[in-house]
């Protein structure tokens, strides 16, 4: 195993030179990918519709092709799901990554081409290891196993020619043999759709393995870690896995989990690396241990545009190329990819904290949301659930806001709501049940996190005294005009502010 570790770390370090090249020549690399994507797709139905053959520059592209979202591409994707090809991308697309839904659909199905798998998602995973091996030249990471907690969805069939599942499930199903050799548990267990069973099986099996690294969403790794400590009776994970040295994470902010991981893995030498990976693509990773900023990966088959957030709702918004962005300004991220997503507004917002090289921080979503545990709750979900709860209990709502309750050592997280009623519900307990049930119906990710209270327990709901939100907005100098009560937030500033106001009377 030591020889294998040395060979693989040497190979991965060679990639660092290529990363340094796109850091040095970012605009040239992005221009090459732009030209490659346009030329590759010019004979597709989409390419013919917008005459890709005559597009010569990014400026031509922006003028001719409108900004897209899932709803505008959905008719094309639905046809691809049914087996039609050469619609958005020329190579056959048989895989679709299931992710959280739009306001119209419970789930989205993002096309994943072979090129996207190889040149984007897998390359991102290899680069993550390359960066780690470069930063830790004495690493022994490949002398042991990696515990990878994938999604809770197994691979499903739309038909005999197309399949869907969580992106992590698709990646695990298609992993190269060398990666599979160093991963645990086996594929059958990893793709078990019963997440509770999977956690138990993984915990029982991996306590006997030499685990050197972990990968996955912090929400679920905390659940697994706590179960492992329950089974073993140990005080922390290093007593179970003494050679544990590395954790790669993504999907949700790591800030609420940082202190928990310090307790679970009490070592100053434990290395944490964040990656910015989504169903639509692998975009960035944390390349320095002394900074949480993410290096924008420019050679993964993705062409980037950036829309200033203040122009998001303009009739004809003007996007910027990489060479036009400014520091510390919020941009909506727009991508064109080697899976046929064209000028696709993915819904994330970023800001640049460095322009040489290009490093970013994820600042949020283009809409208000809660995504502390990977649930991606949006305002439309909340409004639907509140409306049903009000109808069921003859209530009327004046104002509301909601945010997260973070994990602690004794219990799972939750959503905390502050609701000011115009008319109180006839049965408050029933109101709360309908709210939670409806959220599970309209949002598949929320439903998954609520399963058996493993990541999200039943919501905490406060009834605010009459006039609470008015007083709060007045204190903040936000009365009148376009000022509105923020409905959802991914942190607790608003919640704690209003709860303090209520306590003080």
116-285 and 369-504 in the same fold: no
Identify the sign of the CA torsion 401, 440, 71, 281. Answer: positive
Six-digit token string for 60: 């031509």
- In the chain, % of residues over pLDDT 70: 93
| pLDDT reading at 91 higher than 70 | yes
As given in the structure block, the two tokens for residue 10 are 């040497």
Q: What percentage of the chain's residues is helix, strand, coil (to nearest 5)?
A: 40, 25, 35
Residues 494 and 496: their CA atoms lie apart, in Å, by: 6
CB atoms within 10 A of CB 474: 12
User: Residue 141 — φ and ψ, nearest 5°?
Assistant: -60, -35
What is the side-by-side strand order in the sheet with 145-148? 183-184, 145-148, 211-216, 246-249, 271-278, 281-285, 294-296, 358-365, 344-355, 331-337, 302-308
pLDDT digits (tens, 9 = 90+) for 61-90: 999 999 999 999 999 999 999 999 999 999
Burial of 246 (0-12, 13-18, 19+ CB in 10 A): buried
Would you tell me the crossing angle of helices 218-232 and 195-206 to the nearest 10 degrees? 50
Map tokens 């060479």 to a residue. 323
Terminal C-alpha separation, the chain: 65
Given a cut of 90, whether residue 132 has pLDDT beyond it is yes
Does residue 300 register a pLDDT over 50? yes
Q: Give the strands of the sheet with 95-100, arranged side by side.
A: 107-112, 95-100, 162-165, 156-159
From start to end of 45-100, where are the E strands?
A: 95-100
Of 63, 50, 38, 57, give the one whose Cα is nearest residue 317.
63
Pairwise pLDDT comparison (120 vs 173), residue with the higher score: 120
- The whole-number pLDDT of residue 275 equals 95
Which tokens go with 297?
């990966």
Q: Which pLDDT belongs to residue 4?
A: 56
Q: Which residues pair with 498 in a beta bridge?
A: none
pLDDT at 102 over 50: no
pLDDT band of 392, cuts 50, 70, 90: very high
pLDDT the model gives residue 227: 94
- The pLDDT-based confidence of 471 (bands split at 50, 70, 90) is very high
pLDDT surpassing 80 at residue 398: yes
Query: At 152, is the pLDDT very low, low, confident or very high (cuts 50, 70, 90)?
Result: low
Q: How confident is the model at residue 101 (pLDDT cuts 50, 70, 90)?
A: low
The CATH architecture that domain 369-504 belongs to is 2-Layer Sandwich (3.30)
In the CATH scheme, what is the code of domain 116-285? 3.40.50
Domain boundaries defined on the chain: 116-285, 369-504
Confidence tier at 54 by pLDDT (50, 70, 90): very high
Closest CA to 244 of 223, 267, 228: 267
103 pLDDT band, cuts 50/70/90, is very low
Run of H or E including 28: helix 26-41
Comparing 282-291, 312-321, 376-385, which segment has the lowest mean pLDDT?
Answer: 376-385
The H or E element that residue 25 is part of is none
Q: Give the pLDDT of residue 120.
A: 97
Q: Which residue has the tokens 């283009």?
A: 366
The mean pLDDT of 127-155, rounded to a whole number, is: 85
Which of 459, 421, 429, 430 has its CA nearest to residue 443?
459
Contact 343, 305 (CB under 8 A): yes
Continuous segment of H or E residues that includes residue 240:
none
How many CB atoms within 10 Å of residue 465?
A: 11
Most confident listed range (39-53, 215-229, 305-319): 39-53
If you search the block for the tokens 């917008």, which residue do you land on?
A: 50
Residue 150 region, left (φ>0) first, then alpha (ψ -120 to 50), else beta? beta
């Amino acid at each position: 195993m030591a020889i294998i570790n040395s060979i693989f770390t040497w190979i991965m370090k060679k990639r660092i030179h290529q990363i340094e090249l796109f850091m040095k020549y970012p605009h040239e690399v992005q221009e090459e990918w732009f030209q490659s994507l346009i030329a590759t797709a010019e004979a597709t139905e989409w390419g013919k519709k917008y005459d890709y053959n005559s597009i010569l520059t990014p400026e031509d592209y922006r003028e001719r092709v409108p900004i897209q979202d899932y709803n505008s591409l959905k008719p094309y994707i639905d046809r691809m799901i049914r087996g039609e090809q050469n619609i958005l991308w020329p190579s056959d697309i048989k895989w679709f990554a299931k992710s959280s839904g739009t306001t119209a659909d419970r789930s989205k199905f993002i096309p994943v081409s072979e090129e996207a798998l190889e040149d984007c998602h897998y390359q991102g995973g290899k680069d993550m290891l390359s960066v780690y091996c470069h930063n830790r030249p004495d690493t022994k990471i490949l002398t042991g196993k990696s515990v990878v907690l994938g999604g809770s969805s197994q691979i499903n069939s739309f038909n005999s020619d197309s399949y869907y599942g969580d992106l992590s499930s698709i990646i695990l199903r298609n992993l190269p043999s060398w990666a599979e050799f160093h991963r645990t548990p086996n594929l059958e267990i990893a793709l078990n759709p019963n997440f509770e069973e999977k956690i138990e099986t993984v915990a029982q099996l991996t306590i006997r393995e030499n685990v050197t690294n972990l990968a996955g969403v912090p929400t679920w790794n905390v659940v697994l870690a706590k179960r492992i400590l329950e089974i073993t009776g140990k005080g922390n994970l290093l007593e179970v896995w003494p050679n544990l040295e590395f954790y790669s994470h993504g999907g949700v902010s790591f800030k609420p989990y940082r202190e928990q991981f310090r307790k679970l893995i009490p070592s100053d030498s434990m290395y944490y690396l964040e990656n910015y990976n989504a169903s639509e693509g692998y975009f960035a990773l944390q390349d320095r241990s002394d900074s949480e900023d993410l290096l924008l990966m420019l050679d993964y088959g993705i062409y980037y545009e950036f829309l200033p957030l203040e122009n998001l709702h303009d009739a004809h918004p003007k996007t910027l190329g990489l060479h036009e962005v400014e520091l510390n300004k919020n941009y909506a991220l727009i991508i064109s990819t080697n899976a046929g997503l064209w000028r696709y507004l993915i819904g994330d917002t970023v800001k640049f904290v460095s322009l040489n090289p290009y490093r970013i921080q994820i600042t949020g979503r283009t809409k208000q949301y809660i995504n502390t545990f990977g649930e991606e709750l949006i305002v439309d979900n909340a409004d639907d659930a509140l409306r049903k709860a009000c109808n069921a209990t003859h209530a009327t709502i004046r104002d509301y806001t909601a945010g997260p309750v973070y994990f602690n050592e004794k219990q799972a997280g939750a959503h905390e709501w502050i609701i000011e009623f115009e008319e109180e519900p006839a049965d408050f307990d029933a109101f709360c049940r309908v709210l939670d049930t409806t959220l599970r119906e309209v949002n598949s990710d929320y439903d998954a996190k609520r399963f058996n209270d493993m990541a999200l327990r039943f919501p905490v709901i406060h009834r605010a005294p009459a006039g609470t939100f008015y007083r709060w907005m007045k204190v903040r100098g936000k009365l009148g005009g376009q000022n509105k009560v923020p409905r959802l937030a991914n942190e607790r500033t608003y919640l704690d502010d209003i709860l303090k106001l209520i306590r003080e009377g």
